[in-house]
Amino acid sequence: MIIAAADGSALGNPGPAGWAWYVDEGCWAAGGWPRATNNQGELTAVLELFRATAHLDDELLVQCDSQYVINAVTKWMPNWKRKGWRKSDGKPVLNLELLQALDAAVQGRRYRFEWVRGHAGHPANEAADERARAAALAFQQRNEVPSGPGWTGACESADAAGEPVIAADVAPGASAVSAVEAAAADRASEEATLFDFDDPAADWLTLSLELTTEEHTRLVERARAAGVTPEEFLRGLI
pLDDT at 219: 72
| Greatest extent of the chain over all pairs of C-alpha atoms, in Å | 62
Beta partners for residue 113, in sequence order:
62
pLDDT at 169: 41
pLDDT at 37: 97
DSSP string, 24-35: ETTEEEEEEEEE
Domain ranges, residue 156: 2-175
Active site residues: 7-8, 42, 65, 119, 129
Residue type at position 115: W
Cβ(148)–Cβ(31) below 8 Å:
no
pLDDT at 79: 94
Mean pLDDT of successive 10-residue segments in the chain (238 residues)? 97 96 97 98 98 96 97 95 94 97 97 95 97 98 97 67 40 35 41 38 50 71 61 60
In a domain, 212, yes or no: no
Total number of domains constituting the chain: 1
Residue type at position 114: E
81: domain CATH number is 3.30.420.10
In a domain, 57, yes or no: yes
Burial class (CB in 10 A: 0-12, 13-18, 19+), 51: middle
In a domain, 191, yes or no: no
pLDDT at 195: 40
